A and B are shown apart, each in its own frame.
Chain A
Amino acid sequence: MQHGKYPFVVGFLTVPLGLYALFVIWPFVQSIYYSFTDWTGLSPDFVMVGLDNYRRMLDDEIFWKSLQHSLLFALLLPLVTIGLALFLAFMINVGGRRRRGGPVISGVRGSSFYKIVYFFPQVLSIAIVALLFAFAYNPSSGAINSVLRGIGLDDVQPLWLGDPDLALWCVMAVIVWSTVGFFVVLFSAGMASIPVELYEAALLDGADRFTTFFRITLPLLWDTVQSGWVYMGILALGAESFAVVQIMTTGPGGPDYSTTVMVLYVYQKAFRDGQAAYATAVGVALLIVTLAFAAIVMRLGRRERLEY
Chain B
Amino acid sequence: MGSTSAENPTGVGRRDLIKRSAALGLISVPAVGFLSGCASGGGGGRGRAEAGEKTAKNPLGVNTTAPMEFVLFDGGFGREYAEDAVKIYEKNFPGAEVKFSATQKIQSTLQPRFNQGTPPDLIDNSGAEQMDMGVLVGKNQLTDLTPLLDAPSYDDPGKKVRDTLRPGIVEMGQFDGKPVWILYYAYTVYGVWYSQKALDSLDEKYPETWDEMLRVCEKARKRGMAGWTYAGKYPYYIPFSLYPMIGKVGGREVLDAIDNLEPNAWKHPAVKDCFEAYYELYRKGYILKGTPGLDHIQSQTAWAQGKALFIPNGSWVENESSHVIPKDFELAVSAPSGLDDSDRMPFGTIWASGGEPFIVPAKARNPEGGMEQLRIMLSEASSKNFTTKVKSLTAYNGGTDGIPLTSGLKSAVAALEKAGSNVVNPRLQDWYVQLQKEKIGVAGLGEMMAGRLTPAEAIRRIQGFADETAKDPSIKHYKHQ
Contact = CB atoms under 8 A, between A and B. Distances in A.
B261 to A, nearest CB: 16
B42 A139 contact: no
Contact of A250 (B31, B116, B442): B442
Contact of B294 (A138, A251, A267): A138
B474 interface: yes
Contacts of B17: 227, 230, 294, 298
Interface string B126-166: 00010110111011110000000000000000000000000
Band of interface residues on A: 35 or more
A178 interface: no
Contacts of A251: 233-234, 437-438, 441-442
Nearest to A165: B452
Contact of B27 (A162, A239, A272): A239
A43 interface: yes
A143 to B, nearest CB: 13
Contacts of B442: 250-251, 253-257
B401 interface: no
Nearest to A140: B290
Interface string B444-476: 001100101000000000000000000000110
Interface stretch (A100-108, A198-206, A211-219, A278-286): A278-286
Given A42-B132, A250-B446, A24 B10 contact: no
A43 B114 contact: yes
A128 B159 CA distance: 52
Given A161-B233, A254-B442, A186 B39 contact: no
Contact of B26 (A233, A275, A287): A287
Contacts of A24: 22-23, 30
Contacts of A273: 132, 433-434, 475
A139 B442 CA distance: 18
B24 A234 contact: yes
A263 interface: yes
Nearest to B38: A30
Chain A interface, >50% SS class: helix
A31 B294 contact: no
A114 to B, nearest CB: 16
A224 B293 contact: no
A234 B25 contact: yes
Nearest to A190: B9
Contacts, number: 245
B288 A140 contact: yes
Interface stretch (A7-15, A33-41, A90-98): A33-41
B131 A31 contact: no
Interface string B6-29: 110110101001101111111111
Contact of B32 (A163, A274, A279): A279
A28 B21 contact: no
Contact of A231 (B10, B21, B22, B135): B21
B408 interface: no
A98 to B, nearest CB: 26
B292 A255 contact: yes
A157 to B, nearest CB: 7
Contacts of A276: 32, 36, 39
Contacts of A40: 132, 135, 138-139
Q: How large is the interface on B (under 10, 10 to 19, 20 to 34, 35 or more residues)?
A: 35 or more
A256 B27 contact: no
Nearest to B44: A44
A109 interface: no
Nearest to B128: A272
Contacts of A249: 233
A267 B31 CA distance: 10
B2 interface: yes
B293 A162 contact: yes
Interface string A116-129: 00000010000000
B33 interface: yes
A34 B446 CA distance: 35
Looking at B32, B289, B307, B443, the one whose CB has the most chain A CB atoms below 10 A away is B32
A81 interface: no
Contacts of A257: 442-443
A34 B135 contact: no
A177 interface: no
B290 A157 contact: yes
Contacts of A162: 232-233, 290-294, 450
Interface of B: 1-2, 5-7, 9-10, 12, 14, 17-18, 20-34, 36, 38-43, 107, 111, 114-117, 129, 131-132, 134-136, 138-141, 232-235, 288-295, 298, 302, 307, 433-434, 437-438, 441-443, 446-447, 450, 452, 474-475
30 contacts: A27-B30, A28-B30, A30-B33, A31-B29, A40-B138, A43-B136, A44-B40, A138-B290, A138-B293, A140-B288, A141-B302, A142-B293, A157-B290, A162-B291, A163-B293, A189-B7, A190-B9, A190-B10, A230-B17, A234-B24, A238-B24, A238-B26, A253-B438, A273-B433, A273-B434, A274-B135, A276-B39, A278-B474, A286-B28, A291-B22
Interface of A: 23-24, 27-28, 30-31, 34, 38-46, 56, 122, 134, 137-142, 145, 157, 159-164, 182, 185-187, 189-190, 193, 223-224, 227, 230-231, 233-235, 237-239, 242, 249-251, 253-257, 263, 266-268, 270-276, 278-280, 283-284, 286-287, 290-291, 294, 298
Given A42-B115, A43-B139, A280-B32, 10 more contacts: A42-B132, A157-B289, A162-B294, A187-B9, A223-B9, A250-B232, A255-B450, A266-B32, A274-B134, A290-B25
